[in-house]
Amino acid sequence: MNAHADRAEAELTVDPAFAVGEVDPRLFGSFVEHLGRCVYTGLHEPEHPTAGADGLRRDVLELVRELGVTLVRYPGGNFVSGYRWEDGVGQVAERPRRLDPAWRSIETNEFGLNEFMRFTEVAGVEPMMALNLGTRGPQEARELLEYCNHPGGTAWSELRRSHGVPEPHGIRLWCLGNELDGPWQLGHKTAEEYGRVAAEAARIMRMTDPNVRLVACGSSNSSMPTFAAWEGTVLQHAYEHVDYVSLHAYYEEVDGDVDSFLASAEDMAHSIDSVVATCDHVRAKLRSKKRLQLSFDEWNVWYRRRRDPATEPAWEIAPRLLEDSYTVTDAVVVGSLLVTLLRHCDRVAVACLAQLVNVIAPIMTEPGGAAWRQTTFYPFADAARHGRGRVLRTEPRSTRHETADYGEVDLLHSAAVQEDDDTITLFAVNRSTNRPLDLVADLRAAGASRVLEHRVLTDTDRHARNTARQPDRVRPTRLTGASIDRGVLTAALPPLSWNVLRITAAT
């Protein structure tokens, strides 16, 4: 598109007749791993002034509810591939301390399965349980399932009852291991080895409880040398036994290349399209009637290159690990990744922002002290609240610019969601760091009559962040100026911004 040098332009058409699909509420999931302070002094801190009798911090629970998380994956991550779930049940005083080789920490096991399930109840979220298929196998997976979901009358189900949980947990969604393609993973496997184990574990799980839904491990990220080949081989074995394939992706700004960073969603979209293509290729080969869905069960901004494991604390309880402090730029990227998930809602059913508290998280805490929202909290909360309903198919056209990693990309990145008959929400990212973007959206087919609100997250300092001292340094603000004339919306999106434009057809 032609644009003035100092302003960018974009146009799009929204027509409720053309939809991508319905959003599965589980798209707004998150992730709790026994890593650093995510569990201990994050979710769980019995000595904290706000903690209940269950040891859960009420200040954190309030923020979890405000964030709008619908599902939480647990207990890892790399941690799960060496975990013995039996260590975390029964009398707390009798639970063993163990070394966690994945994060070189000490695990006290004070928090385990039943404490996590208590958290899911209080927070009102669905559990997504990950199994150890690294150092353990299908038998231990089956026993855990029996402990969790069988009503009673067997050794494992009676053990649960003896732990004060008379009713089965009824956990439906299970991950068949974690990142087993990665050489860093405990029990790392080849695709052939993992495909066989995943298929066997899945068969045994279904024989134990036919209601389970199962996620096979896809690649750890799209740069893995075995990306797509791994999925192809694994699915050749496991296609008929699983319901989802997982994807993981983390992004960061490298060497000040902010334009590539702001276009990270290009990689996420490419990963989704590639895994969809691989699933459908295997489906065709197997002549299967089943169509697999995707579970993007780890995604976020994570400054991995800044990490130096050699200087991190070793063999401590709940050390400060991966406590990234997020900027406005990071929040805009998180918003853009949410836009991508929404635009692929026909195939991505589950997604988890990794992680929930303290560890690369939207919520931060101090032990014995405050809890606060990182910048990334806001786009997630907006999408979880207003990104429910039908994603409409839009084909935006906007001013483009060159990026080192992704070539030419659009400056506008957006998704339109029809929440109900009267309300459409447009999520929109302006990827330009210096140009406001003039958006024109034709909403005549939707009968748009009024802008309900235009909320924006932006700042003159793109590095601004929230801290314990300044927890509200960055907050969304409301903009005036967006308007609708005869069904056509015009709005100005500030440089480097996350925007929520809510539009009604009601008079």
Q: What does the binding site for ligand AHR look like in residue numbers (CB under 6 A)? A: 33, 76-78, 178-179, 220, 298, 354-355
Residues 143-161: b if buried by 16+ CB within 10 A, e if exposed: bbbbbbbbeeeeebbebbe
Q: How many CB atoms lie within 10 A of CB 382?
A: 22
Number of residues in the chain: 507
Cβ atoms of 456 and 499 closer than 8 Å: yes
Q: How many CB atoms lie within 10 A of CB 50?
A: 13
Query: At residue 210, what is the residue type?
Result: P
As measured in angstroms, the least distance from the Cβ of 35 to ligand AHR is 6
**Helix or strand run (H / E) with residue 297:** strand 293-301
As measured in angstroms, the least distance from the Cβ of 358 to ligand AHR is 12
As measured in angstroms, the least distance from the Cβ of 33 to ligand AHR is 5
As measured in angstroms, the least distance from the Cβ of 150 to ligand AHR is 29
192 is known as an active-site residue: no
Give 148 or 361: the residue with its C-beta nearer to ligand AHR.
Answer: 361
List beta partners, residue 474.
none
Distance CA 290, CA 307 (A): 41
179 is known as an active-site residue: yes
As measured in angstroms, the least distance from the Cβ of 363 to ligand AHR is 15
Cβ atoms of 415 and 460 closer than 8 Å: no
Give 41 or 221: the residue with its C-beta nearer to ligand AHR.
Answer: 221
Which is catalytic among the residues 45, 86, 115, 298?
298
Among the listed residues 255, 346, 340, 347, the one whose alpha carbon sits nearest the alpha carbon of residue 300: 340
Give 125 or 354: the residue with its C-beta nearer to ligand AHR.
Answer: 354
Q: How many CB atoms lie within 10 A of CB 372?
A: 20
Q: Tell me which DSSP letter residue 491 carries.
A: E
Give the per-residue SS3 of 188-212: CCCHHHHHHHHHHHHHHHHHHCCCC
Give 341 or 457: the residue with its C-beta nearer to ligand AHR.
Answer: 341
Query: At residue 300, what is the residue type?
Result: N
Among the listed residues 53, 56, 25, the one whose alpha carbon sits nearest the alpha carbon of residue 39: 56
Give 149 or 178: the residue with its C-beta nearer to ligand AHR.
Answer: 178
Give 78 or 376: the residue with its C-beta nearer to ligand AHR.
Answer: 78
Give 165 or 359: the residue with its C-beta nearer to ligand AHR.
Answer: 359
List beta partners, residue 173.
128, 213
DSSP 46-60: TTSTTB-TT-BBHHH
Which is catalytic among the residues 9, 45, 179, 231?
179
Distance CA 141, CA 240 (A): 19
Query: At residue 322, what is the residue type?
Result: L
User: Residue 140 contacts by C-beta under 8 Å, 6 or more apart in sequence?
Assistant: 85, 131, 132
Distance CA 76, CA 85 (A): 12
As measured in angstroms, the least distance from the Cβ of 359 to ligand AHR is 7
Query: At residue 117, what is the residue type?
Result: M
As measured in angstroms, the least distance from the Cβ of 301 to ligand AHR is 12
Distance CA 248, CA 276 (A): 14
As measured in angstroms, the least distance from the Cβ of 250 to ligand AHR is 7
Catalytic residues: 179, 298
